[in-house]
Amino acid sequence: MQKILLLIGLVLSAFTATAQVIYVDADAGGNNDGTSWTDAYTDLGIAINNAEAGSSLWIAGGRYVTPDTAAFFIDRELSLYGGFDGSETSVEEADPVTNPTILSGDVMGNDNGTVYDSTLAADNNRVLIIIDTSEVTSSFTVTLDGLTIRDGAVAADYEEGSPIPFAGGGLYSEARTDISRVTFTANRAPFGSASAHIFTTGSQSTFDNVVSEGNYSGIRGNHYFNSVDSISFTNSTFSGSTDVVVDGGFISTVAMTGLTIDGCSFSDLNGGDVVRGGALNTASTLDIRIMNSDFSNLSADLGGALYLRNPNLYLADRETNAEECVIDNCTFTDINAQRWGGAAFFGNISHTISNSTFTDGIGAQTGGLGGAVYGQSGDTIRYAYHIDNTDFIRNTTSGSSGGAIFYFADGVDVKITGSRFEGNIAAGNAGAIFLQGSSTDRVTASMIDNCEFVGNTAGAGFAAAALLLFEKSTVSNSSFMENSATNGSLYVGAGGKAYHVVNSEFTNNGSSTNSTFARGAGIWAGLSGGNLGDSVVVDSCTFSGNVVSGDDFISGGSAIYVSGDTGPMVPSFRVMNSSFVNNASTNDADAAIEVINGTNLEVINSDFFANSSSGNGGAINMWQLPERDTLDNVPFTFYLPDNLPTLTVERSLFVNNNAGVQGGAINLFSSTIDMRNSIMLGNTVDNGEGSGGGIIINGSSSPGAVLDNYLINNTFYNNRDGGRIGIDTLPGSVGNAVAIFQPGNTDADSNAVVLTIQNNAFFMDAPQEESIGLELNTGDVSDPTGFGAITVNSLGGNYFSSSLAANLPFTDVSGEDIVNVEVDLEDIFVDPFESDPNSDFPNVNLVDSETNVLINGGTTGDLVPEVDFYNRTRIGLPDIGAIELDTTSTSVAEPISQSGLALEFFPNPTVDVVNIVNHDPAIRDFTVLVSDMQGRFVGGRQFGAVNNKLDVSGLPKGVYNLTLLINGKVYSQQIMRQ
């Protein structure tokens, strides 16, 4: 019973202590003992000194000046409330706006209130000092509410040593404080002009609904924190004046864990070329949360708004955690930096930025990096940089690279998802994103997923949208539209790394009237060889309406430009399951895909429609850049004999592509081709121009160059060369389907072009137009007849509907070929003359007829592919051409809806596109064959992405059966086109 009574007594005494109210009113005329408003203390310093721990001081509106040579001082738990008019009976009645309660350090009251005058401020004191002598954790909390703390000042002549004598012009605290509805203004100090919290006893302090304006810090931050943890700012406003250049930003932290900024605004600070982080500067600080806050009209030397940097190897054993700093639902507007990181600078700290916007920021005004965000690591710790659902709009690096983001990604995993980059500009490289890794970093990787890049620009440099250098990277489910640069919207390469571009769209890049693209309006790949060659895979992507118009020495690649390299490991570039439509290379530029120098190109299951170039190769151009040297002071050029790349084409479609010079679809120079199961329809060279309506194979004058080429099971239909008539040294054009040319000054004993053909279908409307032709070397005056060795080896099974070239005899290695100039094409193909008004090109699927000479007409052998154009298995004797007649009935296939496979088809019915979404991890790729209700195949394609699009816009309205070939099994799905 005694223990219970004692406990009750302790609780009552504690309640009485905390409930004690002391009244302060500078205008009171009573007993000056603080017991009531009438008898209120008139001197705040005396009131504080006389108050017992736990007391609440209610302070009436007015001005309360510090003693002559000292600050107000608190060393115990007190609560100071301002905003009273002297009549209130509850603290909730206080109104700081109507009754401003000012705690001032201006002893003489002579500050002019506008421009700081060091002479007038010589008398100024710190306003308030709070001290807790506990060792680690504060033993009490001081509450400040409804006050204005102003005109505080401490010595400004800091050079080195402890910051304590030079910290906290308005408030200096070594204790926990809860600060709300407090205005800090016109305070000055080298460290923390408005407030300074130092030592762990100041941890867990809070600032809510605080206004900080017009304070001046000579070195670090208006609000300064050193060796404290768990600090929060909520619902607060920070502002300065852009007319005055200051030496410190708003908040500065050193040696802290746990900083929260939520619902705050930061504006109007001019940090010139001194401040780092106009809003926030942190050092040796982790666990930062910045949320629901706005940053505007700020400038600094580095990091216009945020400068978050830890020393090298800070807490070196910490695990990688992208949430060391989290920025969520924030806006950054009109922020700029003199050098790096227009809005934010991150050094040796992982971070996540989400649901935010960066607009009209400027970085690198005097030569730096990152118009909105800059990040770097300087040690061996592994970091993570994540950005999600964030917009970067009209940010600029006027002096260098990375219009929106520049990350040095050595030892960093970068993930950028669901974000939009629009109208960002870099004077140098990378209009939106620059990620630079390291050739020695073989662990980390970067990912850009589900992002939009629209209208970004990179001066005269590389990568209008994104540049990924020395960094293993994946770009997926993203779109690149109307971007502009000299070289590439997306740049990848270097360091012996793997780069993947998956399920992404490149549309109308370089199409604007002021565009300057010279190479790679979609992708520019600068690949390196060496001991580890780069590899690039472009999978399930669409390139449409991209334009290269720059008239440089080397111009081309309206969709993709690849610059290769020599070395022990030749770099590789693979394009698969992708489409190229209406891309254009003008002003003598070449091809939708251009590859130079020592890179092998694979094109698998991809479509090329109506691409054009004013130079060589409407769809693909591969060549070598000549080397230059001198012999006896005489300049000469030559080609490296071991730098002869190969183009591999499988199951791909080339329709209505056009070249201005030669190679309507494909132009090869000092390169070889291995093409199988592919279709070429209606590809052309400009009238009066060169050879190779479908393909031209130009040999090499490199000594000892032997070029082995293979065309196996392909279909060529009505491709046309330029029809040029040979005059004098100008050779006539040849080879409507395929042309061969060997440059002069070659040695027939060491230079050779070999073409091996098997099971190809060569069809022309005009029987006198040869399909394969040899272009004479009449243009080389010094060697008008020297060709090197040219051989066409036939393994049989080739079908020609037109005459063969007399000057290019075939060597029949095995099998037989068929030449029939009287064949009726309608007996061979479903719709050879494009009578279907909804079709964009002839339908060369095979007519199922016993008289169709292509069915079972091919020869067998090791070179014959096991599957056809549609990825269907060839059974028995192969059919001639790319397409194997499929007699399998779709009705026996299991409906996909009953298979248990996680494939989704929508919309169905559809107008133009069926989206096929693969949610099943067991399915890596699959083939879709489309047939009408009469069982006639009308199209098909292989897919390998998660989100896939089946284009049915060219089909008549009606119901269609889809046959799906998945993991060796056959399934069915029905769709309707409306």
The answer to the question of residue 810 being in a domain is yes
In the predicted model, what is the mean pLDDT of residues 225-238?
98
Residue 106 lies in a domain: yes
Residue 539 has pLDDT above 70, yes or no: yes
Asked, for residue 127, whether it belongs to a domain, the answer is: yes
Cβ atoms of 590 and 621 closer than 8 Å? yes
Are the C-beta atoms of residues 325 and 315 closer than 8 Å to each other? no
Residue 872 tokens read as: 């269907």
Indicate if 38 and 149 belong to the same structural domain.
yes
Establish if 408 belongs to a structural domain: no
Q: Evaluate whether residue 697 is within a structural domain.
A: yes
pLDDT value, residue 889: 41
Pairing of β 752-758 and β 535-539 = unpaired
pLDDT surpasses 70 at 892: no
Q: In terms of domains, do 132 and 222 share one?
A: yes
- Evaluate if residue 1 carries a pLDDT over 60: no
Q: Which domain CATH number covers 944?
A: 2.60.40.1930
Q: Which of 887, 919, 953 is the last residue of a domain?
A: 887
* Residues 882 and 923 occupy one common structural domain: no
Looking at residues 538-560, what average pLDDT do you find? Answer: 90
- Asked if the model's pLDDT at residue 832 lies above 80, the reply is yes
Q: Is residue 312 part of a domain?
A: no
Q: Residue 464 pLDDT > 90, yes or no? A: yes
Listed residues 204, 228, 252: the one ending a domain: 228
Q: Do 798 and 870 belong together in one domain?
A: yes
CA dihedral 949, 950, 954, 956 (to 10 degrees): -130
Taking CA atoms, 7 is separated from 2, 4, 10, in Å, by 9, 5, 5
Q: Count structural domains, the chain.
A: 3
d(CA 556, CA 313): 46
Q: Are the CB atoms for 292 and 330 separated by under 8 Å?
A: yes
Both 910 and 783 in one domain: the answer is: no
What residue numbers bound the domain in which 903 lies? 890-977
Judged against a pLDDT cut of 80, whether residue 488 lies above it is answered with yes
Reported as a single tens digit per residue, the pLDDT across 617-653 is: 999 999 877 666 666 665 544 556 566 789 999 999 9
| 144-164 average pLDDT score | 92
- Asked whether residue 915 falls in the same domain as residue 871, the answer is no
**Residues 277-302: pLDDT tens digits?**
999 999 999 999 999 999 999 999 99
Q: Which residue has the tokens 């600032």?
A: 207
Is residue 70 in a domain? yes
Looking up tokens 């070029």, which residue turns up?
A: 707
Give the model confidence (pLDDT) of 834-887 as tens digits.
776 666 778 888 988 888 999 999 999 999 999 999 888 998 899 999 999 875
pLDDT at position 10 = 35
Give the span between the Cα atoms of 341 and 353, in whole angstroms: 14
State mean pLDDT over 36-46.
Answer: 98
What average pLDDT does range 768-788 have in this prediction?
Answer: 72
| Higher-pLDDT residue of 114, 470 | 470
Residues 883 and 901 in one domain: no
Is a pLDDT exceeding 90 seen at residue 38?
A: yes
> What pLDDT, on the 0 to 100 scale, is given for residue 514?
66
Q: Which residue, 403, 347, 406, 405, is CA-closest to 379? A: 347
The model carries a pTM of 0.90
**pLDDT tens, position by position, 352-409:** 999 999 999 988 655 678 999 999 999 999 999 999 999 999 999 987 899 999 999 9
Average pLDDT in the 697-705 region?
Answer: 81
Pair 838, 932 in one domain: no
In percent, how much of the chain has pLDDT > 90? 65
Question: Is residue 784 predicted with pLDDT exceeding 70?
Answer: no
pLDDT tens per residue, range 937-958: 677 777 888 888 888 887 888 8
Neighbours of 354 (CB within 10 A): 18
Residue 668 tokens read as 């090869």
Percent of the chain exceeding pLDDT 70 equals 91
Question: Do residues 118 and 182 both lie within one domain?
Answer: yes
Alpha-carbon torsion (738, 742, 747, 751), positive or negative: negative
Q: Both 796 and 657 in a single domain? A: yes
Tell me which of 228, 253, 284 is where a domain ends.
Answer: 228
Domain match, 826 and 906 both: no
* Same-domain pairing of 759 and 716: yes
Q: Is the pLDDT of residue 9 over 60?
A: no
Q: Which residues pair with 811 in a beta bridge?
A: 793
**Mean pLDDT of the chain, nearest integer:** 89
Residue 718 lies in a domain: yes
CB 554 within 8 A of CB 591: no
